[in-house]
Structure 1
Amino acid sequence: MEKMLFNYQTTNRTDFRDGEIVPPTFTKYKEKPRCLRKRPPPLKDHHTVSAWRTTGVPFSLMHSPKPITRTDPTKVQKPYSKPPDEEREEAIRTRPRLVMTPAVSMDDVTDKRARQILIDAMYTSTVTSATREAISDYFTVRAPLPGLPAPANPIKLPRLTLPYVSPEWRMQTVSWDSKQLRSYCASTRQFWLAQKLPPCNACRETEIVQADRSMRHQMRKARH
């Protein structure tokens, strides 16, 4: 009797069993089928009705320099180099000396390296010298400016001359041109003119009013 009344099962075993555990369905990638269309017909010459066999016009044919900077994309900028000062030595040697004893003019120092050391020590401030010691010399790091990968290959377009084609060879174009309309033409004009107009309520009411007025006018004349 006790086994029939009490099964001694937990809530997890008896209540939370609503659905069956099904393994997940993974999404599979399917490549979309390609729609290959027909190649468009080639260009034709409007005189000879033949395929256009000349080469295509290059993409950069009409490229022009920029309106303000006037830079050409085909000409790469060259790196800047400071030109040598050829008159520097002559100016140092011939300019007048004005010093106070026991000072010595720096222009009389023959050793260039010693002269540069004296100039740097005299005209360099403490902040500048401390900055040079703390910061590395990054001004010399510059991006390279390579040249063109290949020399330019300019093209010359020949002068356009229209070829003469005899009328016997232009049967396809002549037959097409003869079918074209050269004036205004309404192909459905006679059809619409032959149709009867639908009844108009306003016209019918106007006709009744005019008939009534004419009848009253005749009755007045008959009385007099």
Structure 2
Amino acid sequence: MSVTALGSLARTTGVGVASGLGVAPADRARVLPVHDELAGLFPWGGLRRGSTVAVRGSVSLLLAVLAEATAAGSWAAVVGIPCLGVQAAAEYGVAVDRLALVPRPGSQAGLVIAALLDGVDLVAVPAAELSQAHARRLSARARHRGSVLLPYGEWPAADLELTCLDVTWSGLGDGAGHLRQREITVQAQGRGAAARPTRTNLLLPGPGGTVRPAYPRVRSLLEPRQPRAAG
């Protein structure tokens, strides 16, 4: 997609009707929703506008982060991640009629991302394709425009980083059957209010294909364990 093409998006039925286009960031909800099972990982209870939230190790986790906000009416764009498809996004609950895919932006990826940050609520980008200096400029642009930047991979000075750790699939029997669900551990840590690391165990996908809790609650890594009762 060229920069010229992006300039015409506002006149199409795609990204051009994204929620909040032409609306000052202060007039929109400051926190976009996420699944209840993910909310405990965010110090703001959801995706705070103007923030950069990096997702590492799982495209499924990235889709799960996008799902609730798009279902609630926000628009999202995914740039430069060709392995992410519409069908997979729909299975994880993303409202695909409010999802713009730019799988191969070419040499102008930075300009494409910057243009999308001006008018789309959430923009997911490939961290490995951008220099640290360019990454910092994009985070600053998201902060100024009130969008949420979602890098896939390591990102300098992200406000919050969600990292997929242990992965366990289940569903196969003794040499037969189908993989039905995957249990993952997600660690969240960042800056400021997000400095204290937290972890939660999720089924992603769980029954029905979307995110489900594997354990009842998120526990801070610094939270003291309760002693067991004797006997």
Q: Which has the higher helix share?
A: 1
* TM-score normalised by structure 1 residue count: 0.16
Question: Where is the strand percentage greater, Structure 1 or Structure 2?
Answer: 2
Q: TM-score, normalised by structure 2?
A: 0.15
